Structure 1
Amino acid sequence: MTTTQAAPLHMGKAAVRALGILALATGALESVVTPTLPLLRRELQMSHAEGALLSIVLLVTGALLTPVAGKLGDRYGGKQVLVRLMAVVCAGGLVSALAPNLPVLLLGQILQGAMVGALPLSFILVREHLPEGESKVAIGVVSGLFVGGTVAGTLSAGPVAEGLSRHWMFALPTLAVIGATVLVNRLMPHDPPRRSDGAGIDWPGLGLLSGTLVTLMLVLALAPDLAARPLMLAVLLAVLAAFATGWTAVERRAAAPMVDLRMLGCPEVWKSCVLTFMICVGTSVAVYLVPALFALSADAYGFGASATRIGLFLLPGAVAASLAGPLSGFGVRRFGSRAVVTAGVFIMAVGLLGLAAVHTEAWHLVVGKALIALANGLCVTAMVTSTATSVDRGDTGIATGLVLVTRVIGFAVGVQFSGAILTAGTPAGSDLPAESAFVAGFVLAGAVTVLSLLVVRTLSKGARI
């Protein structure tokens, strides 16, 4: 292997702002499908199975491409790969905006999935051009703006789709992504390739990872119906086990694996992955259940809120999520990562268990959701920051990519788990889930969050700068 290292160029504040704007725009584009899925199902005449496929296809492709993008960024330079990746995302956004039917929209979402790889590439650039103390804060800012973008997309997608059309809810954030990509290309210093080992893409590993993730998402999406069809469940689980086993074997033997599983041998990396998964499961349960509670009829135990009112109710959570990233970056810098994660886990447990206990007033849900959004941002940003700064600079993309893939999988598991809980809690012949189903979902998510403290206790305190 030949490694080249040029003298680093300092990244200016304008370049950091450009990365932040890009994170905000991609976060918004990522999140527009979930709150508008009923509208999309109605306009495109989709079945529930097709709707489930639409809701997870971006996650599948994103989880697949994240480690690929991270490794290519480590090998060839973050800016070069980031700009090309965002060109694919912009093409996907425009395809989604112009889609006349479901197959074309699915193609657009597949292309948009490349956006998930933007974060680890941003972290590569930040670490390449900033001192360690400043890089921690910058990573926190970028991560926080991405989270804020996802919430902003969730809030605005419904009103835009209803006031204009479903086409504009994809077009507007796509235009923002295009503008932000141009800014990054102009303002970001070039980072030369730092790895040149002559190895090509690990296509066998990539194919087996694709099969693993696709099968996993199918199991999660079809879980509520598979209980009545145990044979199909057994077949899917067997296929999932075969893909996962084959992928692990191939990656262990590959000379240049796309996902270096040896990285999981680093305690900071595997602990960050486990914690990120558990935290994102708890967060996604609230993301799914709280809007559902708002939307339920006021004649039952809900609030009968419209899409616009739900967006207003979720606004405090959006603000909290946007602030959590920078706060986490400063907290890690001042107190260490373990202290920040501990505080975040405690806040999230209070929010989830509090929602299980009291949810009869709208402000109960508003406060609980805001606490959970704040806690998620604190924990995930601290985990990513800790991981990014605990490995060699050349491994930043690979390590943070593993954590971000775990984030996607944890979110998907939590959402599908929530849907299964409500399905199981809905009496035959009724469309109204029992209130106990919501309580059970919040309690179980709170329990998972509390259990994560067992892993938090084993974390190192992290460097204070």
Structure 2
Amino acid sequence: MSEATDAPARIGKLSIGALGILALSLGTLQTVVEPALPQLQRELEVTPGEGALIGNAFLVTGAVVAPVAGKLGDRFGGKRVLVWLMAVVAAGGLLASLAPNLPVLLLGQVLQGAMVGALPLSFILVRKHLPPRQSQVAMGVVMGLFTGGGMVGTVIPGPISENLSWHWMFAIPTIAITVTTLVVMRLMPHDPPVRTDNRIDWPGVALLSATLLTFMLGLVKVTGSGLPPFAVVGLALAVAALATGWVAVERRAVSPMVDLRMLAKPAMWNACVLTFIITVSSGMVLYLLPQLFGVPGDGYGFGASTTDIGLFLLPGAIAGSVSDSVGGIAARRFHPRAVVAAGAVVTAATLLALASVHGSEWQLVLAKVLTGFAAGVASTALLVNTATSIETKDTGIATSLLVVTRVVGVALGAQVGGAILDAAADSSGMPPESAFVTGFVVAGLVAALSLLFVRFTKKGAQA
């Protein structure tokens, strides 16, 4: 058969536009929970720790889908797998839009987390059907629209939930995803599967999912339900057993979802630890600020509506999106340790100051902008530096490991923030102001840990 016959079909602007609109819809659905979380907690009558699970259930699926999405696309074809994943996301959005209670909403969020695989699959399709220069432009369009969707998802939940109901803030993006997926199916040519001996590490996927879910559910139960000591010990042992099993499976798997052998390399280990510290701190901030905005205004809070919370969070979302490009530039011009150290100083100083001064909305908005920008620059610099300092053949493994680390860090930070509020809540479920002070101090100290780690590893390298 001739090379011309084997060459993949070219795609046009309509196909790229469809992928971009799909990314816009996915970015919107990804962020609608953040400003609406206080409202969801009130209407579903759940504790702050249980509320944190709403966003974290999404992240758990993302952590396990991200490393295997590309492998699935290679094995079965990028277009086919993208459509499969979007069907799962649409089912999750439907469940969330109809959810009568927290368990159903959590299930919907778990299914929606499959959207994390959409971006790498979109990039695979673009690279297969366009020459290098055009594919770079197309990838930029898709990524830019995904980021823009995140901003849209910050501002639309309020008007939708206040004029219709919170169910519609899941339903409307889901409808857009469904329609756009059908358009992609129609316009995007099929890409043939790539023959590969790499197997999908399904045991690793299952064990990592079980470990993360058990840990987060256990944290909610321990802080909110007053479990007896033997139950706490049992949960800790269950998490340890699942985590140990996952590590054992990954070390023995022929094609692991996360190649833990990469951690033996000092550069990879350092990047993962620093990324984890940074994202735990930022995850706490992501959770605590909307909660403080939503506390009734007759106390120490502001009584902000979902619309107001979305507007308050929008500048931070913009700063976070800008930080991605700035982080890449900073990684080229400065040593990543310097970038991380600067980000840690800004984050720690901002959060420790916020613990003392948080009586006005602008103070919280400014804190969100500073911490979001600092954390984004630092984590992106680490990602870019790692991707460019290792062998080309290991780029996918290294970046997937960092992506998983980022997702786990954000999820853990949010859950810890919810646990702090839960542990101090009164009989009505309302946390006192001191709980937020504690949360900001803890988040600031966690950010400061990266300074100590940078100094420690620098001394070790010099020695």
Q: Does residue 234 of structure 1 match 2:233?
A: yes
* Alignment partner, residue 305 of structure 2: 306
SS of 1:196's partner is coil
The structure-2 alpha-carbon separation of the partners of 1:133 and 1:248, relative to structure 1 and needing over 3 Å to count, comes to farther
The structure-2 alpha-carbon separation of the partners of 1:119 and 1:457, relative to structure 1 and needing over 3 Å to count, comes to farther
The structure-2 alpha-carbon separation of the partners of 1:332 and 1:396, relative to structure 1 and needing over 3 Å to count, comes to same
Q: What do residues 398-454 of structure 1 show as CA deviations (whole Å, max 9, x unaligned)?
A: 43332222222212221222122223334x546553333222221221111122134
Distance 1:213 1:94 in 2: 24
The structure-2 alpha-carbon separation of the partners of 1:136 and 1:357, relative to structure 1 and needing over 3 Å to count, comes to farther
Distance 1:375 1:145 in 2: 22
Q: What do residues 34-82 of structure 1 show as CA deviations (whole Å, max 9, x unaligned)?
A: 4434544665677888756544332222222222224434666655544
Distance 1:99 1:430 in 2: 24
Given that residues 50 and 418 in structure 2 are in contact (C-alpha distance below 8 angstroms), is that contact kept between their aligned partners in structure 1?
A: no
Letter in 1 for 2:63: A
Letter in 1 for 2:439: G
Unaligned ranges ≥5, structure 2: 1-5, 459-463
Letter in 1 for 2:307: T
* Alignment partner, residue 31 of structure 1: 31
Given that residues 216 and 415 in structure 2 are in contact (C-alpha distance below 8 angstroms), is that contact kept between their aligned partners in structure 1?
A: no
Distance 2:214 2:377 in 1: 31
The structure-2 alpha-carbon separation of the partners of 1:141 and 1:456, relative to structure 1 and needing over 3 Å to count, comes to farther
Given that residues 388 and 396 in structure 1 are in contact (C-alpha distance below 8 angstroms), is that contact kept between their aligned partners in structure 2?
A: yes
Q: Shift of residue 295 of structure 1?
A: 2.5
Letter in 1 for 2:451: L
Q: Comparing 278-287 with 106-115, which one deviates more in the overlay?
A: 106-115
Letter in 1 for 2:433: E
Distance 1:123 1:278 in 2: 29
* Alignment partner, residue 288 of structure 2: 289
Distance 1:7 1:393 in 2: 25
Q: What do residues 169-211 of structure 1 show as CA deviations (whole Å, max 9, x unaligned)?
A: 11222244346556767888987656611x5433333332332
* Alignment partner, residue 155 of structure 2: 155
Taking only aligned residues, the RMSD between alpha carbons, in angstroms, comes to 4.0
Q: Shift of residue 9 of structure 1?
A: 10
SS of 1:452's partner is helix
Distance 1:48 1:455 in 2: 31
Distance 1:140 1:267 in 2: 31
Distance 1:124 1:449 in 2: 35
Letter in 2 for 1:366: V
Distance 1:292 1:353 in 2: 18
- Indicate the percent of aligned positions where both proteins have the same amino acid: 58
Given that residues 60 and 212 in structure 2 are in contact (C-alpha distance below 8 angstroms), is that contact kept between their aligned partners in structure 1?
A: yes
Q: Does residue 433 of structure 1 match 2:431?
A: yes
* Alignment partner, residue 463 of structure 1: none
Q: Does residue 215 of structure 1 match 2:209?
A: no
Q: Does residue 410 of structure 1 match 2:409?
A: yes
* Alignment partner, residue 59 of structure 1: 59
| TM-score (normalizing by structure 1) | 0.80
Distance 2:301 2:45 in 1: 27
Distance 2:19 2:231 in 1: 45
Distance 1:162 1:186 in 2: 36
Distance 1:277 1:445 in 2: 13
Distance 2:192 2:259 in 1: 22
Q: Shift of residue 29 of structure 1?
A: 0.9
Letter in 2 for 1:85: L
Q: Shift of residue 356 of structure 1?
A: 1.9
* Alignment partner, residue 374 of structure 1: 373
Distance 1:458 1:123 in 2: 38
Given that residues 136 and 333 in structure 1 are in contact (C-alpha distance below 8 angstroms), is that contact kept between their aligned partners in structure 2?
A: no
Q: Shift of residue 104 of structure 1?
A: 5.0
Distance 1:122 1:28 in 2: 17
Given that residues 276 and 409 in structure 2 are in contact (C-alpha distance below 8 angstroms), is that contact kept between their aligned partners in structure 1?
A: yes
The structure-2 alpha-carbon separation of the partners of 1:228 and 1:105, relative to structure 1 and needing over 3 Å to count, comes to closer
Given that residues 157 and 169 in structure 1 are in contact (C-alpha distance below 8 angstroms), is that contact kept between their aligned partners in structure 2?
A: yes
Distance 2:19 2:456 in 1: 33
Given that residues 337 and 383 in structure 1 are in contact (C-alpha distance below 8 angstroms), is that contact kept between their aligned partners in structure 2?
A: yes
Q: Shift of residue 318 of structure 1?
A: 2.2
Q: What do residues 357-414 of structure 1 show as CA deviations (whole Å, max 9, x unaligned)?
A: 3212221111111111212322333333334444555554443332222222212221
Q: Work out which of the residue numbers 448, 452, 455 in structure 1 matches 2:450.
A: 452
Q: Shift of residue 160 of structure 1?
A: 1.0
* Alignment partner, residue 177 of structure 1: 177
Distance 2:98 2:296 in 1: 34
* Alignment partner, residue 344 of structure 1: 343
Q: What do residues 289-326 of structure 1 show as CA deviations (whole Å, max 9, x unaligned)?
A: 22222223334322232222222222221221222223
SS of 2:167's partner is helix
Q: Does residue 224 of structure 1 match 2:223?
A: yes
* Alignment partner, residue 260 of structure 1: 259
Distance 2:457 2:143 in 1: 21
Q: What do residues 62-106 of structure 1 show as CA deviations (whole Å, max 9, x unaligned)?
A: 222222224434666655544432332233223433456666544
Q: Comparing 42-51 with 266-275, which one deviates more in the overlay?
A: 42-51
Given that residues 276 and 380 in structure 1 are in contact (C-alpha distance below 8 angstroms), is that contact kept between their aligned partners in structure 2?
A: yes
Q: What do residues 121-171 of structure 1 show as CA deviations (whole Å, max 9, x unaligned)?
A: 456668889999999999888667655544542432232112122332112
Distance 2:135 2:450 in 1: 27
SS of 1:166's partner is coil
Distance 1:345 1:139 in 2: 30
Distance 2:126 2:454 in 1: 26
Q: Comparing 122-131 with 383-392, which one deviates more in the overlay?
A: 122-131
SS of 1:259's partner is coil
The structure-2 alpha-carbon separation of the partners of 1:79 and 1:351, relative to structure 1 and needing over 3 Å to count, comes to farther
